[in-house]
Amino acid sequence: MKMYQQTIPLREKRRGFHLITNEILRAFPQISEIRTGMCQVFIQHTSASLTINENADPTVRKDFEMYFNKSVPENDPDYEHDYEGSDDMPAHLKAALLGSSVLFPISNGRPAFGTWQGIYLCEHRDHGGSRSLVITAWGD
C-alpha cells in the first residue's frame, strides 16, 4: 500500500464556487502512482468548504452561490457571531452545510469522477484570503 499526504495553498479567490480539480491534480501528482485507491481533500478553514458537482456548465456554480445566499442570508439580526463582518456567520453556516472534505476513488492513477464531476472550492467570504488544503491519497 502507498500513502501520500501534502498540504497545498490555494490563492485567494473571489466569493463563489470555483472548480479546483486541475489545481489539485497539478499540485499532487502522486495520485498517478496509485492504481486503485482513495483520495481525501480537506480544507483547513471554517468559512469555506468543498463539494463535488457539475464541472461543465458555469451557470451551475452561479446558481449554487445564489441558492446559498438566499438560504443563509447576511445581516440576520439574530446572529451573535459578527465580529468579522456580515458575511462571517453565514460563511460558517454554509461551510457546515457543505462540509470540509471530499473523498473520491482513484482508478488507474486518475480520479474516478463521473463525466461531469469536479471539485469545487466554495468560498463563502467576500475576502476569505488564501486557503490551504490537505490532500491524502492511499491505495495500491
CATH number for the domain harbouring residue 68: 2.60.120.460
- Compute the distance between CA of residue 39 and CA of residue 136 in angstroms, rounded to an integer: 6
- Give the range of the structural domain holding residue 20, as residue numbers without chain letter: 2-139
Total tally of structural domains belonging to the chain: 1
**Per-10-residue mean pLDDT for the chain, 140 residues long?**
98 98 98 98 98 97 98 95 93 98 98 98 97 98
- Compute the distance between CA of residue 135 and CA of residue 66 in angstroms, rounded to an integer: 29
Q: Across the strands, what pairs with 133?
A: 8, 43
